[in-house]
Chains A and B, each alone.
Chain A
Amino acid sequence: MKNRAWSQFCENRWAVAGLIILGIIHAAALFADFLAPYSFSNEERTYSYAPPSKIHFRDEQGSLVPPFVYGAEIKFDEYRRRIYQDKADEKYPLSFFVQGDKYKILGLVPTTIHLFGVKEPGRIYLWGADSRGRDLFSRLLHGARISLSIGILGVAISFSIGLLVGGIAGYYGGKTDDIIMRICEMFMMFPGFYLLLALRAVVPPNFNSIQVYLAIVVILSFIGWASLARVIRGMCLSLREREFVLAAKTMGLSDLRIIIRHILPHTLSYSLIAVMLSIPGYILAESSLSLIGLGIQDPYASWGNLLAEAMGIVQIKFAPWILLPGFFIFITVMCFNVVGDALRDVLDPKTSQ
């Protein structure tokens, strides 16, 4: 059964591609410190909005040499905008496994080795720099950590609540069900973004970045659980009439155990699909919040607050690479959608079109 579903899933080439891309993005986020040449806060303000560095493989004579980047010469045009030109006499060879900013691998082993980089004072900007001369490539990788983990954590919390509450409401029915459903309706009665703003207003302004991060996770899951609870409750209402529940009851199992061990597993395939299709919502909500300055705060990076820099027309015009975080949000959302839809086709053929 499981194997059949899996091989059916693999037949959908788009879904497999989506799953692979998601894997790559998540792995990149996990090893962000190592893959990125700089830490998220490493800034060099003279390199404000430096364009992506060109990596050269041939020297002036045209012969093949190890890859290198030129040092930058900064000039100003008549509007006092920076113009970056290559300095022909300053070459910084691109090297691998170089010393750089300190970090801990997976938060455990302290080290300074980065996958690639150039020697100071040279700087390498694979995808350009932001206003304060921080490497966008590094910040995107570090931002992926926050953006993706908020999605996963938020879904994990809201789904635990949603499953449990929905299970309890559906299993007991009657008054309990009524009360729980009224509470759910209360949450669903307000437009998500307004609720988000109202709840964000409650978070004290003196919270530090980690507290704000956790607060956002909590707020997002707080908003998200109700709709899931409703669906699960509907499923449990019919599941509790089945014989195996009666069997479990006669064996004297406790209600909570029946709900968690015997009823909820039957909603697994629906929940799995729902998880896949709701993660994008959390990622988008975090991005929107950070975009308008209420989410993750500088110097910490998330895809949303990286994109906040692209709110100015002038910046986009002269540094179009600052739009990249938007493409990453788009691609991630797209992949989750593709994988979720494919899962639904495989696990729940009734609802697919």
Chain B
Amino acid sequence: MLRYILRRLLTILPILLVMSLLTFILMQKTSGSFYDTLKLNPQISPETIERYIKLYQLDKPLLVQYFSWLTNLFHFEFGYSFFYNIPVADVIGGRLWNTFVLSLASLILTWGVAIPLGIYAALHRNKITDRLIQFTSYIALASPTFFVAMLLLYFASQSGILPLGGMHSANYDGMNIIEKFFDVLRHVAIPATALSISSIGALQRIMRGNMLEVLGQQYILTARAKGLPENRVIYSHALRNAINPLVTILGYEFAGLLSGAALLEIICSWPGLGALMLTAVQSKDIYLVMASFLLSGFLLIIGNLLADVLLARLDPRIRYEK
């Protein structure tokens, strides 16, 4: 298994390199740079801009720039953000944590709602409640997350119970740890719900399908035949086997959340990596774009790898090595 993981990690390295080179060239080759906007600002002297361009080696040939960026990368230095004027790692670190908070909240919400719903629907198959759940799931699946977010923001503004954006209240710094937790929870509620709605629909359908499949197996019949109480049949025999395949989805979903979260961060002004990427792209903050972009790719790979490893651990039929 360790060899498999190592091999997977080694194969992604060249891909990341090629991708970084491509983005680097594309970002540099297109018209306009960060300092073009600054040149229009009369308060900043041309000498200052000249100094910055020298400092960040923007006057050097493209490949020289790329390789100096690359060698720094091996020292875990990701370059400087033009806009924030601090190392990119410092900008991204906090943002990444915020995105993680949002993704985690959404993940907990999705699983906390979808799994019980799926079990309930499977146990009440084709009854009116099941049909209702299936119908709403179908609608949830088709609802665009950004639209759900806008509707939620609207209802929140009408009722005034939830904050309309951001991550902290103004007096956040003065709160104690418990108050802080609930403050973030209140802020995360809308983006996390919007992010979860369609995944709840999808996961619920998968859970229901798995549960129905397991309930039709012979060992369930055996368990029932030997007189086990129905509760134990369902919750200790059926549920375990039905939920197993879902664990891999967890890995893939966590990786996919990053992408979905980006748009919601922008709409709900959540200070995460996606919102950062947008401003960085708009202001041509090259190193910031490169770092966020590569980081997002790296996280996706790690998520997928984790999912594959988990799958192999849980399902003895799967072997990655010959």
Q: What residues of B have a CB within 8 angstroms of the CB of A186 in the complex?
A: 15, 18-19
Given A287-B144, A307-B147, A191 contacting B259 (CB threshold 8 A): yes
Alpha-carbon distance A90/B111, docked complex (angstroms): 59
**What are 18 A-B residue pairs whose CB atoms fall within 8 Å in the complex?**
A186-B19, A189-B15, A189-B300, A191-B297, A194-B259, A195-B293, A197-B277, A197-B278, A198-B281, A202-B27, A204-B31, A292-B266, A311-B267, A316-B150, A323-B154, A326-B144, A333-B142, A353-B205
With both beta carbons as reference points, the residue of chain B lying nearest to A304 in the complex is identified as B146
Q: How far is the CB of B187 from chain A (nearest CB, A)?
A: 16
A residues sitting closer than 8 Å to B (CB atoms) are 182, 185-186, 189-195, 197-198, 200-206, 280, 284, 287-288, 291-292, 307, 310-311, 313, 316-317, 323, 326, 329-330, 333-334, 337-338, 353
* B278 and A204 within 8 A (CB): no
Q: What residues of A have a CB within 8 angstroms of the CB of B205 in the complex?
A: 353
Given A194-B262, A197-B278, A291-B146, A185 contacting B151 (CB threshold 8 A): no
* A284 and B15 within 8 A (CB): no
Q: How far is the CB of A71 from chain B (nearest CB, A)?
A: 31
Given A190-B19, A330-B142, A205 contacting B259 (CB threshold 8 A): no
Query: Which DSSP category, helix, strand, loop or mixed, fits chain A's interface?
Result: helix
Q: How far is the CB of B7 from chain A (nearest CB, A)?
A: 14
* A189 and B297 within 8 A (CB): yes
Alpha-carbon distance A197/B280, docked complex (angstroms): 10
* B23 and A323 within 8 A (CB): no
Alpha-carbon distance A323/B149, docked complex (angstroms): 12
With both beta carbons as reference points, the residue of chain A lying nearest to B299 in the complex is identified as A191
Alpha-carbon distance A329/B284, docked complex (angstroms): 31
Given A189-B15, A292-B266, A337 contacting B300 (CB threshold 8 A): no
Given A197-B277, A201-B30, A191 contacting B262 (CB threshold 8 A): yes
Q: How large is the interface on B (under 10, 10 to 19, 20 to 34, 35 or more residues)?
A: 35 or more
The 6 closest A-B pairs by CB, nearest first: A191-B259, A334-B142, A326-B147, A201-B281, A313-B157, A190-B297
* A313 and B153 within 8 A (CB): yes
Q: How far is the CB of A83 from chain B (nearest CB, A)?
A: 20
Alpha-carbon distance A287/B149, docked complex (angstroms): 14
Q: 1/0 per position for B35-71, CB-CB distance to A under 8 A?
A: 0000000000000000000000000000000000000
Q: What residues of B have a CB within 8 angstroms of the CB of A194 in the complex?
A: 258-259, 262, 274, 277, 292-293, 296-297
Given A189-B300, A189-B301, A287-B144, A313 contacting B293 (CB threshold 8 A): no
List B residues 253-280 near A (Cβ within 8 Å): 255-256, 258-260, 262-263, 266-267, 274, 277-278
Contact pick for B154, options A182, A189, A203, A316, CB 8 Å: A316
* A205 and B32 within 8 A (CB): yes
Contact pick for A311, options B32, B144, B150, B296, CB 8 Å: B150
Q: What residues of A have a CB within 8 angstroms of the CB of B11 in the complex?
A: 182
List B residues 193-249 near A (Cβ within 8 Å): 205, 209
Alpha-carbon distance A205/B26, docked complex (angstroms): 14
Q: How far is the CB of A211 from chain B (nearest CB, A)?
A: 13
List B residues 130-174 near A (Cβ within 8 Å): 138-139, 141-144, 146-147, 150-151, 153-154, 157-158, 164
Contact pick for B263, options A193, A307, A334, CB 8 Å: A193
| Interface assignment of B12: CB less than 8 Å from any CB of chain A | yes
Q: What residues of A have a CB within 8 angstroms of the CB of B141 in the complex?
A: 337
| Interface assignment of B311: CB less than 8 Å from any CB of chain A | no
Q: What residues of B have a CB within 8 angstroms of the CB of A334 in the complex?
A: 138-139, 142
Given A190-B293, A353-B209, A307 contacting B150 (CB threshold 8 A): yes
* B15 and A182 within 8 A (CB): yes
Alpha-carbon distance A98/B269, docked complex (angstroms): 46
Alpha-carbon distance A337/B263, docked complex (angstroms): 22
Q: How far is the CB of B196 from chain A (nearest CB, A)?
A: 17
With both beta carbons as reference points, the residue of chain A lying nearest to B143 in the complex is identified as A330
Q: What residues of A have a CB within 8 angstroms of the CB of B292 in the complex?
A: 194
List B residues 104-149 near A (Cβ within 8 Å): 138-139, 141-144, 146-147
| Interface assignment of B309: CB less than 8 Å from any CB of chain A | no
Q: How far is the CB of A223 from chain B (nearest CB, A)?
A: 11
Q: What residues of B have a CB within 8 angstroms of the CB of A204 in the complex?
A: 30-31
Alpha-carbon distance A197/B283, docked complex (angstroms): 12
